[in-house]
Structure 1
Amino acid sequence: MSGFKKFLFQGNLVQLAVAVVIGAVFSELVTAFTTAFITPLLGVFGGVPKFADLSFTLNNSEFQYGAFIDTLISFVLTAAILYFFIVLPMSKVMERFSRDEEATHRECPACCSEISRKATRCAFCTSEVVPEKTG
């Protein structure tokens, strides 16, 4: 039970909750954008003004495949926006930080902890190390 309590009071849980709420609102925004602009624009070229109106009936059961097409377009737009405006820039930033970190740190030969390249003694195991020359 203490593990669950610890999980509940972590800062990550609050961040996750905020991310879920923002994601839901963002999804609604993309869906509204798709319905208001993208679907009519595709209707200009494809001749179908609203995908949501598309359906077929089989044995008195109506299959509204047009609503699925609208949702599919929303999904693709959401995924593209998230990738190009969040994932791709963040991966570039993280890559830059990791390159900077690699240039300033190394592994202690005695305890394998991460230490500065300029260090003469490991802060973790206190072993003496030979400093490396940087740039």
Structure 2
Amino acid sequence: MIQGFKDFIMRGNVIDLAVAVVIGGAFTAIVTAIVDSVITPLIALFYKPSENGDIGPTFRGLHGDEVTFPLGNLLTAIISFLAVALVVYLVFVVPMNKWKERQAAKAGVVEEEAKLPTEAELLVQIRDLLEKQGSTPAPATRRSTEPPSPSI
């Protein structure tokens, strides 16, 4: 039972998920602070905040009231997501993949890349198949390397 649990934990998916959740939660606070103190003020240079504090373009609605599209919140969410995903990938996923490769190499499991045939090998195979079917192609004529003679 303990060995099964150990195999389940060491499979990698559980560890990747746990690390992503923990680091994502911790790193989100840092990214949010950076976005709030740097990116949002930069956006505020171009757009005046509404009464609600939303920063973005403001349009007059059908009923005469102003509607603000809060681009600051959207950019904060996008930048936070990308930053957290990048850190989790670089700090945890890449090392975990390298560790898995080392473990596979130690176990003797070496994945060979499928070697694709060359163009010449494919042409030979096609020729052999045509010969087997009995429909051999007409022999190719050699072209002369001499330039054509001018016609009068």
TM-score (norm 1): 0.46
Query: Bigger relative contact order, structure 1 or 2, given CA contacts below 8 A and separation 6+?
Result: 2
Task: Answer with 1 or 2: which has the greater Rg.
Answer: 2
Name the structure where strand makes up a greater proportion of residues: 1
